[in-house]
A = this chain, B = another copy of it.
């Protein structure tokens, strides 16, 4: 395999064949190949290496090539090549980057290019790895308290990044954390491990960034260390960055639950057309799916012509159904975001929401029947009451299931819930309503 073959395969974006080819070469041959290729192609080849080989190759490369490689991993061209891969291909072709290489990338790349480089490095868009900063100061397991204190004094870094230091063994395995303030209280000659907090949980690069950030803030951890799958430290997430992750996630959830996309900028200075753009997509989705309600009503057009009074309760009944559905969706979406429920709980959530919906349906049906019967007749009162009893459990069941279904399809639950639920509940509510009406009135 020579450089021109590599170039052709890269130009053709035939990454599967390229991956198969480079995986047959040994570390030494690969190092030579990478050294003679132009930086971008070298970077493509490098990212396709198996994890065990890539750390070895990276170590063998000379300083210059290594630095070219790191810069190349941040180029737009390379980002585009890997962005074209779908996630399954990416995880099949691109192995986890060894912690040593990832750490060097983190500290070598300009902050503005970090997100692009981490994408090429194979970290998922929602993973905590995409929000890592370079580790400012570490404590080694054989350090004394005084040695670590000196290292903090000497380091020209933001204090926020050193409030909690990762404690590492010689091979960068994370074994604990050290609150930098605890150094003030310790004997300078004591081993750093005596002041260390043992590790309770390790946050891995692949973890969902919102989940990881929420856990860090809940526990009041000032700096969150992030490790690869072998518990070797890769980078850190200071608490203010964790707070930012949560603020963005909450802004998005809140906006989406209100049927709009998040603005991610201040409201007043944002131009009208930008605001309209965040809203129009949803309104169109809603409008297209609301066409379903038109079709459902068309089925019952003759029933409506016979008993026009039935039309009076359409907004009331679809409103209650839609609200019951969105209440269920809101509760389950939040529980998902808080990591309280998962896909394994599908049956429990469904049963819970169905029963809750039935309870609500009965609680609403009683006053509805009592008020509507004297005003619009016993028939209409019964129809409205029965519709509530039948439709509320359906709406709650669907509303509670959709966020879980979305999660299973790897879609943000907040994105799909609102328009889908209101449309579904409107249509199902109308079907239930008219079916009950036809049966009771004998139409």
Point out residues on A near B: beta carbons under 8 Å.
149, 152-153, 159-160, 162-163, 179-185, 214, 217-220, 222, 238-240, 243-244, 246-247, 250-251, 253-255, 257-260, 263, 266-268, 272-273, 275-276, 279-280, 282-284, 286-287, 290-291, 293-294, 297-298, 301, 304-305, 308-309, 311-316, 318-320, 323-324, 326-327, 329-335, 340-341, 345, 348-349, 352, 355-356, 359-360, 363-364, 367-368, 419, 422-423, 426, 430
- A195 nearest CB across to chain B (Å): 11
Contacts of A266 in B (CB 8 A): 335, 340
A94 to chain B, nearest CB (A): 34
Q: Are B257 and A258 in contact (CB-based, < 8 A)?
A: yes
User: Chain B residues near A284 (CB, 8 Å)?
Assistant: 364, 367
Bound-state CA distance A244–B284 (Å) is: 37
| B323 contacts A282, C-beta separation under 8 Å | yes
Taking a contact as CB atoms under 8 Å apart, the answer to whether B319 and A422 are in contact is yes
Are A315 and B312 closer than 8 Å at their CB atoms?
no
Smallest Cβ distance from A382 to chain B, in angstroms? Answer: 17
- Minimum CB–CB distance from A267 to chain B (whole Å) comes to 4
In angstroms, Cα B182 to Cα A287, docked, is 58
A293: chain B residues at CB < 8 Å are 315-316, 319
In the bound complex, do residue A283 and residue B316 qualify as a contact, i.e. CB atoms below 8 Å apart?
A: no
- Quick one: closest B residue to A317, CB to CB? B290
Chain B residues, Cβ within 8 Å of A149: 184
CA distance A410 to B45 in the complex (A): 62
A159 pairs with B183, CB closer than 8 A? no
Number of copies of chain A assembled together: 2
A287 pairs with B268, CB closer than 8 A: no
Quick one: closest B residue to A375, CB to CB?
B294
B297 and A258 contact, CB distance less than 8 A: no
Complex: A179 Cα to B222 Cα, angstroms:
13
Main SS of chain A's interface residues?
Answer: helix
Is the pair B297, A340 in contact by a Cβ cutoff of 8 Å? no
Is the Cβ of B426 less than 8 Å from the Cβ of A315?
yes
Measured CB to CB, the nearest residue on chain B to A265 is B340
Q: Which residue of B lies closest to A240 (CB)?
A: B220
A364 and B287 contact, Cβ closer than 8 Å, known pairs A268-B348, A279-B324: yes
Task: Verify A327–B259 contact, CB threshold 8 A.
Answer: yes
Given contacts A272-B352, A297-B315, contact A162 B181 (CB under 8 A): yes
CA distance A140 to B239 in the complex (A): 28
Q: A184-B183, A267-B341, A360-B280 are in contact. Are A320 and B287 (CB under 8 A)?
A: yes
**Smallest Cβ-Cβ distance to A262: which chain B residue:** B334
**Other contacts beyond A267-B340, A275-B331, A298-B312: 10, CB < 8 A:** A254-B257, A257-B258, A259-B327, A273-B359, A282-B327, A287-B316, A290-B316, A290-B319, A293-B315, A294-B315
Q: Would A335 and B254 count as touching, CB distance under 8 A?
A: no
Instruction: Sample 20 A-B pairs with CB under 8 A, ordered by A number.
Output: A180-B181, A218-B240, A218-B244, A254-B330, A258-B326, A259-B330, A263-B331, A267-B341, A268-B341, A276-B356, A279-B360, A282-B327, A283-B320, A287-B367, A297-B311, A301-B308, A301-B311, A308-B308, A311-B314, A318-B319
Contact residues in B for A315 (Cβ distance below 8 Å): 290, 293-294, 297, 314-315, 318, 426, 430
Whole-angstrom distance between the alpha carbons of A180 and B222 in the complex?
Answer: 14
